[in-house]
Amino acid sequence: MALERSAKTDWQGDLDRGSGVTVGLRSTRSPAGLPVRALLLPLAITVALAFAPVASAQTQPATGPSTSTGTGGAAATVDRLATSAAMATLTRGGNAVDAAVTAAAVLGVTEPFSCGIGGGGFLLSYDARKQRATTIDHRETAPAAMGPASFMEGGAPLPFPAARYSGLSVGVPGTVEGWAQALKRHGTISLARALAPAIRIAREGFVVDATFAAQTRENLDFFDDAPATKALFLDPDGTPRDVGTVFRNPDLARTLTQIAWRGTKAFYRGDIADAIVETVRRPPVSPTANHTWRPGVMDERDLRKYDAERREPTRSGYRGLEILGMGPPSSGGSTVGEALNILEGYPLGSLPRTEALHRRLEASRLAFADRNAYLADPAYFDVPLAGLLSDGFAATRRALIGDSAATSPIAPGDPYPFDDERPGRRQGQMSATTERAGSTTHISVTDRAGNVVSYTFTIESTGGSGLVVPGYGFLLNNELTDFNYDSLTHPNRVEAGKRPRSSMSPTIVLRSGRPWLTLGTPGGSTIITTVLQLLNDRIDHGMTLPEAIAAPRTAQRNTATTQAEPAFLQTPEAAALQAKGHRFTSTAEIGAATGIELLEGGGVVAAAEPVRRGGGSAMVERPSP
């Protein structure tokens, strides 16, 4: 990126190499059963923690401000500690990628039910000096021993809770490798420096808020089956940690210290890797557990072979802007892009609000029909990406939109005539898999040099698989339930080494070839509908970025009913849409978006949720008076 890699001190260089401070240490074990090296804190890490760019976790407010305006770099996340860590990295000379990884590591501590080193994600970045965007796909992968029938018993697929709370659902985690590659390719600081704030917060603790307590309560019936999970997240009486108390995770602090010390090999080989495999293959649950926790098939080779993929972003035009997104195995960039292509045929800004909303819901319905049929890991299925994002295909889909709501599920279209079709291409199939809400988190960062990051990462459901790796303090993902695990033939079926389809939609919008917006959100498959709505409201309806983030949301995903937040259902437009045949179901909230807008003249607006998921935090380097 535009910022040059700064000269490192001796201790930073040692940590980058991961060797100078570890020579001669043996892998002996302490009386507690942990490796001795996991309990040592080398001088290098001590120095890093001493200068960790974050204030005391216990003295900072949990959230806010949700909007900041000014100049210089900016960051927005769901958590004030993470945003503060990103901003401290920026003000100390780090670039947007450095700040994003630093914030992500903190979120893995403070938002453990949504993200962390036990999961994976997609990082989209724009290099201002090279004027180029790239993505790092560190999505989880299926172990080599898995196949299409892995989630089936007696010829039928497992119920979702049985599939999720198990070792079967755990994909090989990609987050640590993704962070390392992002910093190596685009950053200016070491992985050790990026992890230092997270290590400090894990060790010293942070204050439990209402969202943390509610997410714990949501998993209570399963968390108390697993002793390591119960010990970490529940009080001794088996109830969630009280709001206002301090939550500490010393095991995670030691785990992150090992990774800071030895790099990715500390995670993908050795003691941590062994502990992950043991947890997956023999889920450590209590003899009194009231659920069956099925074993998985991951082994050490799956972890050793993991690699993050560098991919080109998806690109689509809309109203003279260029929309950059995430391509397969994510369905985010293609589905948002297809829906926008359909909508570009309408003058949405001048239509009555009800008519514009009707067309957005119908465009989303159609794009999801195609997404469900054709999106999968491109190493296993020849995704017709060019066809899905073509104007010609969008025109065929737009022609199906009438004055009233269509009845879902509607059939997918045929994008192949609009793709560079080759003999032997496999056709997609309609998906019957339920579109679950999921969890996840999103980070938006820009720096003073014009570099931009849009980063979404996750452990899938809120609480992931429910399995904390004993002695290491992090939850493992349940990402493999994102496969169409009820099918032996769907393009997104379970296969060895495959990445499951995702909905994550990190997005950067270019205007006149330069970054203008960066945004994203958590929310499972509602990620796509939320990003589409944010772009629609900002570009077509003239809302400011904070207004678009705060606006009531809807989510149509080729389902019989459209999810809607209560505030939307109280509007006149909701009643008018019902008259057009739209049917709604109420849901408390959809997503938890963050975004940054780069203004003319060097200004910047950073925005996060004011209320959803407890409210977010947005900051800029030099706030306006």
Q: Which residues are catalytic?
A: 440
Helical H segments across 441-536, by residue range: 526-535
Structure tokens at 578: 């019902």
Is 463 within 8 Å of 444 (Cβ atoms)?
no
Which neighbouring-strand residues pair with 71? 603, 622
Q: Which amino acid makes up residue 133?
A: A
Burial of 326 (0-12, 13-18, 19+ CB in 10 A): buried
C-alpha distance from residue 295 to each of 158, 250, 288 (Å): 13, 27, 17
**H or E, element range at 194:** helix 191-204
Instruction: Give the span between the Cα atoms of 614 and 386, in whole angstroms.
Output: 39
Instruction: Give the span between the Cα atoms of 587 and 566, in whole angstroms.
Output: 7
SS (H, E, C) 562-600: EEECHHHHCCHHHHHHHHCCCCEEECCCCCCCEEEEECH
Is 449 within 8 Å of 123 (Cβ atoms)?
no
Is 535 within 8 Å of 526 (Cβ atoms)?
no
User: Which positions ≥6 away from 325 have C-beta within 8 Å?
Assistant: 124, 313, 314, 316, 332, 333, 334, 336, 337, 505, 506, 507
Handedness of CA 323, 326, 328, 332 (dihedral sign): negative
User: Which positions ≥6 away from 606 have C-beta within 8 Å?
Assistant: 67, 68, 69, 74, 75, 76, 444, 594, 595, 596, 618, 619, 620
C-alpha distance from residue 152 to each of 147, 291, 477 (Å): 10, 17, 19
330: helix, strand or coil: strand
CA proximity to 597, closest of 552, 529, 541, 549: 549
CA proximity to 556, closest of 414, 345, 406: 406
Q: Are strands 314-318 and 321-325 parallel, antiparallel or unpaired?
A: antiparallel
CA diameter of the chain: 74
Q: Dihedral through CA 29, CA 30, CA 31, CA 32, nearest 10?
A: -100
Instruction: Give the span between the Cα atoms of 183 and 205, in whole angstroms.
Output: 26
CA proximity to 613, closest of 273, 218, 200: 218
C-alpha distance from residue 503 to each of 92, 99, 199, 338 (Å): 34, 24, 30, 14
Is 505 within 8 Å of 528 (Cβ atoms)?
yes
Which neighbouring-strand residues pair with 622? 71
Is 500 within 8 Å of 255 (Cβ atoms)?
no
What long-range pairs does 6-14 form, CB within 8 A, spacing at least 24? 6/93, 6/188, 6/189, 8/190, 11/43, 11/44, 11/47, 11/48, 12/44, 12/189, 12/190, 12/192, 12/193, 14/44
